[in-house]
Structure 1
Amino acid sequence: MWLHASCFLEFNIPVPTPFLLMLRPRSGWQQWVAREQYVLSPSVPVVEFTDLFGNLCQRLVSPTGHFTVHSSVDIETADAYDTAPGAQFVEVQQLPDDTLPFLHPSRYCESDRFTEMARSLVSGRAAGYDQCAAIVDYIRNTVRYTPGAGQQIISATELNELGSGVCRDMAHLGIACCRALSIPARMVVGYLETLEPMDLHAWFEAYIGHRWYTFDPTQVGLQGGRIAIAFGRDAADVAIYTQFGNPVELLNMHVNVERMAGAPC
């Protein structure tokens, strides 16, 4: 399917402020960027680089006063996301090198604290995809999804204690449990066509059967088209914007995702 997605950010900047932005999706095997627009107002010099996880990042210094960032993209993405019950666990010694960083505990995914819990959740399940599915079922059935309520990032351990959180927090718990079973898992931030209320969304991917598979604890199925913007170990790696120095005021943020009738002309 073809999707048009956009993100608008509006700031009040008290002093010139360094920013790191992460708003440009890249083409990959499940999505192809056909057209994009990236407008900063007022216009400032930007340096783009690729981070350790292959994400496209932009460095800039915003001027004092009113500052806006508007990005949009026309992209072809998968009509449906694969599921693979029975897909096998990949032994650590057989994993590709680039999956290894997604085995370790990270700031918000304390996988070393979930070994016993993860084993109990997947008892009786075949190693691999079926274990990940059991973890997602547990999160969906025991954690209350509260979209729009998560201003402060919480870790997998904190979410497990609180019992409610946003998509980002639920992904943290899924990632931590997968890693506790030696299954590489990474966070994804992007757009989801059917999301209500509309916002940016987070889910996770697990490496099983020698490829990455999508999992989303906020949904019963994988409905709607998705656009991946950034991948990382947890939320610390995939912030769409990071500002340095004194805090700035985010006046407005607007996200929109629409299905297109066909390829852009």
Structure 2
Amino acid sequence: MQLNAGCELSFQAQTPTPLILMLRPRSGAGQWIIREEYQITPAVNVTEFTDMYGNLCQRVVAPEGPFSIHFSATVQTADLIDVAPGAPYTPVEDLPDDVLHYTLPSRYCQSDQLGNLASSITNGTESGYDQAEAIRKWIHENITYQYGTSNASTSAIDTANNRIGVCRDFTHLGISLCRALNIPARMVVGYLYQLDPMDLHAWFEAYIDGRWFTFDATQEKPRGNRITVAYGRDAADVAFTTQFGPMQLNDMKVWVDTAQNDAEESERKMEQTPTLSNSAGSMNQNSNQQ
């Protein structure tokens, strides 16, 4: 499915403030970026780099006063995500070098303290995919999803104890429980079609049988039509904005809609517009071609 997705962020900076932004998705497994638009007001110099996880990051300095960011994209997404019940566990000695660090504890994912819980959840389950799915299902059934119940300091240990949180907390707990079983797990942030309520979203991936699989503990069943923006060990690696100074977020809007209506409307307008067959560009013209 083709999706139109994006966000608008409005800030107020008290002084000139450096920012790192992580808002641009890139083409890869399960998604193809057809079109994207990036607007920053007021206009400032922007430099872009790729971080150690392969995420596209932008560096800017917001001037004092109001500062806004608009990003939108049209993305071809996969309608389904792969599932593989029974897929075997990948032994640590066989893990690729760049996957090994996803087995270790991190700031929000204290996997070294959750071994007993992970073992109790997966007791009697085959090692590998079935363990990760048992963890996802347990979180979905035992952790209450509720806004305003956690903050930027909430960790997987807090969520395991309090049994309440949002997608960020569900994801940290899922990652931690997988790592406690030596299953590499990483955080993914992006967009999910028909998420209710609509917001930027987080889920986790586990490395099983030589590849990454998607798990989303906020959803009852596997769902596709996702747009991945960034990967990391936990939320510390995948913040959409990281600011280095006094700056207040005043408003944030997020949307994900099907692009089918746009395509039908464009086709209707083309049918109603007379063209000259000999005019330049009248045939095979595509303004969105990259």
| 1:240 maps to 2:240 | yes
8-17 or 255-264, larger mean C-alpha shift: 255-264
In the TM superposition, what whole-angstrom CA distance separates every residue of 1:209-229 from its partner, at most 9, and x where no partner exists?
111100011111123511000
AA matched with 1:51: D
Residue 253 of structure 1: aligned partner: 252
Residue 204 of structure 2: aligned partner: 204
CA distance in 2 between counterparts of 1:69 and 1:263 reads 23
Residue 106 of structure 2: aligned partner: 106
In the TM superposition, what whole-angstrom CA distance separates every residue of 1:119-175 from its partner, at most 9, and x where no partner exists?
121111110000011111111111101146544341110111111000000100000
In the TM superposition, what whole-angstrom CA distance separates every residue of 1:211-258 from its partner, at most 9, and x where no partner exists?
110001111112351100010000000000011122x11111000000
In the TM superposition, what whole-angstrom CA distance separates every residue of 1:177-213 from its partner, at most 9, and x where no partner exists?
1001110000000001111111000000000111110
Unaligned runs of 5+ in 1: none
CA distance in 2 between counterparts of 1:118 and 1:35 reads 42
| 1:93 maps to 2:63 | no
Using the size of structure 2 for normalisation, the TM-score is: 0.88
| 1:118 maps to 2:113 | no
Q: 1:94 to 1:224 in 2, by over 3 A?
A: closer
Q: After TM superposition, where is structure 1 displaced by more than 4 Å over at least 4 residues in a row?
A: 262-265
CA distance in 2 between counterparts of 1:168 and 1:48 reads 26
> Residues 147 and 197 of structure 1 are in contact (CA less than 8 Å); yes or no, is this contact kept in structure 2?
no
AA matched with 1:107: R
AA matched with 1:201: H
Q: How does 1:146-185 map to 2 (within 5 A)?
A: 146-147=146-147, 149-185=149-185
Secondary structure, aligned partner of 1:242? strand
Residue 187 of structure 1: aligned partner: 187
Using the size of structure 1 for normalisation, the TM-score is: 0.96
CA RMSD of aligned residues (A): 1.4
Unaligned runs of 5+ in 2: 264-287
> Residues 153 and 169 of structure 1 are in contact (CA less than 8 Å); yes or no, is this contact kept in structure 2?
no
In the TM superposition, what whole-angstrom CA distance separates every residue of 1:57-82 from its partner, at most 9, and x where no partner exists?
01110011111000011111111111
Identity of aligned residues (%): 53
> Residues 105 and 176 of structure 1 are in contact (CA less than 8 Å); yes or no, is this contact kept in structure 2?
yes
Count of residue pairs the alignment pairs up? 264
